[in-house]
Every structure is written in C-alpha cells, then in structure tokens.
Chains A and B, each alone.
Chain A
Amino acid sequence: MAGAPDRGLFHRLMNIDRRVIFLIIALSVALPILLPLNLPIGASREADAYYEAMEALRPGETMIFSFDYEPDTMAELDPMSLATLRHAFRKDVRVIALTNYAGGAGIAERILHEAAEEHGKEYGTDYVFLGYNPDWSATMLRMGESIRRTFPTDHYRTPTDEIPLLAEVDSYANVPLLVTVTASALAEYWVIWAGGKFDQKVIAGATAIQAVLVYPYFQTGQLSGFLGGLKGAAEYERSIDVDGAGVRGMDAQSMAHLLIVVFILIGNVAFLLHRMQGRRGG
C-alpha cells in the first residue's frame, strides 16, 4: 500500500524504544557485578609510572594528597584514592591531605580514616587532614611558602602549629610527591602552580572524561604518572595487589563497552540500509 510505513527489521531497530536499551545496559552492568567473570586487566604505561612514583617514596617521607572531587564522581575516583592511601600507609609514608572542593571533605575523612585504620596509623603524626580552603590557585601557591600559614587550623579546628607532622613539614620543599585525584582541571593547576613554580613532583588520578586533557602533561613529563578512570584505578589496584572497587567494576565496564560497540555498529548499519532503501524507493 502506497505511503504505508516500512516495517523492515532495520526500520524497527531504528525505532526501538530507548527503555529497552536502558534495560539491556543495566543488565550488562548488573550481571557481571553479581556473577564476576574475572576478565584480564592489563597495565598501561601511565598507571605503571604512577605506581613507580609512589613506590619511590621511602618510609618516613611525607606526601601531599589532594581530594579534588565531590560525590558525583566518587564511583570513579574513590578506588584510586583508597588504593593510593593504602599504598602510602603500607610503606609508612606520612600523608598531608586536603581538598579543594567544599563537597570533598566528607569523602576525604571517610577514605583517610578507612586506610589509616587498616594500617594502624595515628592522626597528627602519621597523617593529617587540613580540610577545604577556598580558591585553589591561591591555596596551591601559598602552600609552597607555608602549609601552616595556608591552613591555620586543620579540618577539626586544631591549630596546625600544634600538629606534630606539620612541625616537620611546612612546604613543598619537604614533600617529595604530591598526588591529586580530581574530576576537574585541577591536575593542570597543580602542574602549573606546584610543579611549575616550586618544582614539585606531581602525579594525578583523573576521571575518564578528564583523562584526554591530562595525557599531554604526562607525555611532556610535567606529570610523573596518572590514572585514567575506573580502568586506571583497577590497574593500580592490581599493581599494589589489593583488589578493590576498581577491579570489581572492570567486568561490568568491559561488558557495557562491548554492548555499546555492538549498538553503535547496529545503529550505523541500520541507518545506512534504511537510507539506501529510501533512495531506491524514492
């Protein structure tokens, strides 16, 4: 019948209810979480470099760890933060933690205390949490002069002059490594301010979306290592032999990616065939 809608297979695929796609994606993510497949996880050059930078720290040395993210990206970045702090505490490296995001304080407290408790670390001597300071650029610059003056009190309002760890360490000059785990462009800012002005060695953990912007800084050596997205977290967890949420999520990640690739292929083939049919018909 003239003008009747085309009901071919590819036409139906082009008009599939998007809720069906949501359901299939949900299943592709949920099933591997419930029934792990243990797919292999390779190691990338940048994750190896991140691990090596951490591994180069000696017991008793101090690193700065900046929780530069908020709850919206916890799923990607929490595994990196936890793995890095576990690695640091396992090596008896002391940690000065801070956050450049107001919403990052709760995350920092939870992860710091979890990692510290696992390794029997004591607040004030083995690690300290400085809390949130407004204006990240000013914070990064001023920390190069004096951490105690940048943060007159820690997150719990204890004067930083009274904290034993900060009596020995007061600027980048006393810190061999700075780690930022970030969902924004803060890795670049740490490179510009701490790296560029004070020659501070910097490594970063970034969300997958930020990873493409971070790569150029790794390629030039301005960043000594970096982890990109959940995959980066999983690689690092494997490097330190402590599987966490990163490794546990990789099966689901792989299955969802495979499915999306299949969807893209079907969508493109269906689109091309539909267009060819239209030309022949028209």
Chain B
Amino acid sequence: MEKMINLTINNLPVTVEEGTTILQAARQLNIRIPTLCNHEDLCVAGNCRVCVVEQVGMRTLQASCATPVRENMQILTNSMQVRQARKTIIELLLSEHNADCTKCYKNGKCELQDLANEYRTGNQVYIDLVPLKHYTIDQSSPSILKDDSKCIRCQRCVRTCAELQAVSALSAAYKGSEMKISSFYERPMHEVVCTNCGQCINRCPTGALIEKNYIDEVWDAIYNPTKHVVVQTAPAVRVALGEELGFEPGARVTGKLVAALRRLGFDSVLDTDFTADLTIMEEGTELLTRLKKVLVDGDKNTALPMFTSCSPGWIKFIEHTFPELLPNLSTCKSPQQMFGALAKTWYAQKKGINPKDMVSVSIMPCTAKKFEATRPEMRDSGYQDVDYVLTTRELAIMIKQAGIEFMKLEDEDYDSFMGESTGAAVIFGATGGVMEAALRTAYEIVTGREVPFTNLNITPVRGMEGVREATIKVENVKPEWSFLEGAEVKVAVAHGLANAKQLMTAIRDGKAQYHFVEIMACPGGCLGGGGQPIPTSPAIRQKRAEAIYAEDEGLPIRKSHENPEIVQIYREFLSEPLGHRSHELLHTHYKPRKRY
C-alpha cells in the first residue's frame, strides 16, 4: 500500500497517494487547474507555467503539474497572486503568438484560445512580438505544416517525437528570445527524419503544427462533373470520426460515415477494408513463401523475420533508421495504396471509366498517408494511384461545411465492389490487428482449421503493451505445408516508433528471433493515428480499440480469405496471391534514406 499524504487545496482537505502531483490531487476535488504543456502521454515539462498555484509559506508559485504533494501542504489555486500570474502568463503567450484566430485552421480547437477566452484577455497589454520575429511557415512536407508564429514553445511536439516516436525530428534550438522548435539545422521538414506520423499534431495545443489539408481540392473534384470521385475509408476512421461530430469516444459510426460521404457527393463510397483483406492474402502468402524459402530451400537471401508494411510512418522510419533491415520488410503496399492501384485499373475497367477522369480520395486516420500517396513508388496504375488523402479531422470539417447533421443520419452500406469488409480487415485499425488477421488466414491455409483461439480472438497479440510477443504452434498441417509440421511460429507486435526502435535494435543485434513482426508507427495503432480527432489519451485510445474489436465481432465474416470480393478479384483479375498482376500493382520496394 502506498503512503498516503494529507493536504488542503483551497481549504478543502484531500488525501492522496504519495507521488501524486498537486494537479492530480486537485482533480480529485473536481478543481480544474488549466494546463498547456502538460499532456497525459508525455513526461512532465513544467515549462508553460500556466498551472502555477500558491503554496502557503513559499516565496514562489509552484507548477502544479510538476510538484508532488507533501504532508500538510496548503495549496491555493485561485488566489489573487495565482490569478494575476496566470493571466500575465497567458497574456505573455499571446504576445508571442500570431493570434490571427479567425483565419487559423485550429480556430475553435486551440487550447490557448480557450484559455484566452476563459481569462478574457481582451486588451493586449504587452507589445506584439510576432512582427519582430520574421516567421516563415514550413510547407515543404506533404503531411505537416509547421507555423512557428503560432508556437508557444510548450515542447509537447518535442517530447512526442523523442519519447513516443524516438525520432527527434523536432527539438528545441537556440535560447532566450530566439528559442524555437526546429528540425535538424533548420532544414525543411521534408528533408529530415520526420516520419510524417503526425503525433506532434495530435498534441500541439495551438495551430503551430497542423496537417496539410486538401479539403478544397477534394471539393473541387466533387464539383467537377467530368470527374468520377471514389473514396475509400480506413478501418480506424469509423471508430473515431464520431468524436468530432458529437459522439463520445468509442462510438462506432460506420453506417453514418458512409451516408455522410454519399451526401458530400462522392461518386462511389468504398472501403479500404477490402484491400486490408487483400493485404492479408498477399502478405500471408509472402510470409509462407519466405518461410518455405528459408526452411526448405535454405535460401540465404530471404530475410526473416518479415515485417508488416502497412504503416507509412513506420516505412519512412525504417528507411532512415534501420535501412539494413529493409529486406525484412514485406513488399506489400499498404491497403490504401493497393486500393489506389486497383481503383484506377480493375475498378475503372469494370465500371468503364477512363482512369484519367478518376479522382481517388482516401479518408485516413493518418498524416503519413498523405506523404505515402505522393511517393514515386505509388504510380503503378499509370497515374498517381491515390490523389488526395484526408484525415478523419478533415472529413469532419467537410461534413460540417456541408450542413449534414451527422448524428441524425441513417446508416448506409458501402458500394460494391471494393466495399466488402471483414472483421479481419477492421482490426487493422488497432495495434496487433494485422498480426491477428494474418494469423487467422495463414493458420487456416496451412492447417485447414481455424486458429485455436476462442471465437477467433487472438488475445495474446491484443492490448496496449508497447511490445507484445506470442508463439503459435502449428500441428497437423496439410500435406503441402508439411515443412511447417510442429513448427512454433514466433511473432511480435510493436506500436509507437520508440517501441519499434527497441524491437528493431534487438532483432538487428540478434537478441530476438521471430518469424513475423507487426509494426504500427502510432501509439495504439491507426486508431491513435496522427490524423485522428484531438485530444488523444490512453483512455480515448482504449475506447477506440474496444470499438474496433466490437465491430470485428459484429461482422458476419471475420477472415480475410472468406471475403467474397477477395475471392472474386483473384478469380477475375489477380489470379493468385503474389501473381504477376499482384507484383505489378500491389507490391513495391523501399530504399534507404539519410539519417538527419
């Protein structure tokens, strides 16, 4: 049992565990202390000073986020001194902040704006420092816009990039009035190690880091009568979009999402889940092929373990950080890009549409997908396979712009074809989901039986642990897979690039042996993606994960190879997994990148 500490906050007694901060103790009394630099996912910084409180008997105010409680402390969160200091601090932040709120992308979603409202900082007392600073906006990245004039130096992005992602593309540079958040030698964002994961955006309290939005481009495409606009939606969008439109975290809004997209005017509303299932067919087959090459043929050039390749943040990370492990990466494109390549080929053919008149839009929980869509590797249809990538947040803006009352929409179904989905595809949205979906299919291919887990739920690969491992014994296999008889397939799952780095280091150094490894760049997997609704927290991500697994259990088909449209596409177009057409459209290779 932890030691308990007694203190008073605003003269109210409270007893909390030792190690609790003043901020947390105040929450237990339902006293809210405003914060800016503090974030549940990150270490304590204590640098914005907005949360300062008075400790009776102390000369200075204390940052409540950073100060642990002590016995008999007397804390005042709303004394004259605290109010004056807090208001001054907010005014100082505003004096350094480009407060063009009505023109700002984050207008109405800005934590600094909320505080300014709360403290009614109407008359700007201090001198506007913004014109003196000669800020420029870094628009070089296809995913992330960095506008230093909006930055309040809380370093949430810096901590996100270092602690959660182990990338450190952003760090504090210079000091004093020159202090800023900078990339390596102030190089533009598209030249540095940034993986475009967008986790910094999810935690930026202001408009300093936002996604590059393509809302107007998509509207233009929709309004253009000569264009056939197809839209695909990623699995994680359906369990998060609701948060932007009036629902509590964890609401499943799949049917409303489809209905809204139709009302926006997309010509076909299709599902990335379809190509998630296709990914399982291709990737599962690739894994079995690799295992055979290594175990039976003794092929020294085939790399194991095989890594998943769905997460474009992860792809750029491995290109920069572990280029020596690139041969281990599955050659499968991500579901988004498989979809893009098929939309402008198979789909166009079947619908009799000229692919040059098609605009392919995807709704993603992800900002790295924006970058992925622009990769030179992603033009196998003869065109840019995916034209515009919108985040969950951008879609919510469009829905609001169109005057759609989202909460009141009747559920609708995806168009067919390339709209059919399975439970296996849905769980792509959660960390461990690709692994689980792959195992459901691969195990059945090899043994002819379902995976030996109750209700198909492979729980060892689920959860929010940073790195998870599981071993699955393969017995009584079909004759053509006899080389796998009795084999113990070892798998690992990591989410968040800091965890990925830890796992990759162990693999590179020969300290960990696996056959198959799933990596997702973002904490919690795609459901915690950089394009998802803000705010994010462990509790919110947990809710979204529960929704994903509920969606899976609620679907009639829960194995990728049983998706009737998957059966159809192999029959009509692709012939077989890893076949000639698959290689052309669905697979690719990545190259090492520089490390800065």
Partners in one complex: no
Chain A positions near chain B (C-beta within 8 angstroms)? none
